[in-house]
Amino acid sequence: MDDAHYRYNSAMRDRIAANLRGFDRSPAPAEGLKHAAVAITLVRDDKGEGAYVLTRRTPRLNSHAGQFALPGGRIDAGETPIEGALRELREEVNLHLGEDAVLGVLDDYRTQSGYLITPIVVWGGADAEMEANPHEVARIHRITFRELNRPDSPEFVDIPESERPVIRLLMGDDDALHAPSAAMVYQFREVGLFGRQTRVAHLGEPVWAWQ
């Protein structure tokens, strides 16, 4: 991507929306799994370029405390995945968006911990202002598309506990985003930014994320 393609503007929105419309999404049956949704929310960074929203979970949570995560959670009874993702976005980072902000939906992802996660790609808007819910979110991060596209990332690691290669996306000098979030963000990069028909169901999570 050249510099112009990183600019957060209507042309970027149109490109990503067109790539998502052309994606042959692969839904998965719940089959007794708990259904959840996450929002891959696209915002502008302080240099006017594209970024996505990532949170750091508070250390007080009962599960996955202190980890990086996409805004999201379990879908309530009667909700669609889109409704659930937008609700979680409001609850976690106080960003209120309507369904007209949804650009598309990526593949469902099954986790080792018993969830089926539906990723919803959302356009946050150039003036998106967010506030962390202190009960769930310790910090809000805007991870730039340049960082998402860095040449040394993602990494794929073999582990003895699973036949699925574990994916991680490198961030900064010493941080990394792990699956399931890493798998879904990687698919967004491939599909949304480049229009590639890339699957991620074969990519696994680190053992500590299986709980």
pLDDT band, residue 32 (cuts 50/70/90): confident
pLDDT band, residue 3 (cuts 50/70/90): confident
User: Taking Cα atoms as reference points, which of 166, 188, 160 lies closest to residue 178?
Assistant: 166
Sheet with 155-159, strands from edge to edge, namely 155-159, 162-171, 175-178
More confident residue, 48 or 31: 48
Q: Calculate the alpha carbon distances from 13 to 50, 101, 102, 105, 181 in Å.
A: 10, 10, 11, 14, 22
**pLDDT at residue 62 greater than cutoff 60:** no
The verdict on pTM exceeding 0.85 is: yes
Degrees to nearest 5, angle at CA 111 with 161 and 99: 155
Degrees to nearest 5, angle at CA 5 with 53 and 196: 75
Degrees to nearest 5, angle at CA 65 with 59 and 66: 70
Domains and CATH numbers, the chain: 3-209 (3.90.79.10)
Report the distance separating Cα 202 and Cα 43, nearest Å.
29
Residue with tokens 């962390």: 132
* φ/ψ (deg, to 5) at 150: -60, 140
Report the distance separating Cα 201 and Cα 58, nearest Å.
28
pLDDT band, residue 66 (cuts 50/70/90): low
Residue 62 is given by DSSP the state S
Average pLDDT over residues 76-86: 96
In three-state secondary structure terms, 125 is strand
58 with 112: CB under 8 angstroms? no
Report the distance separating Cα 208 and Cα 205, nearest Å.
8
pLDDT at 63: 57
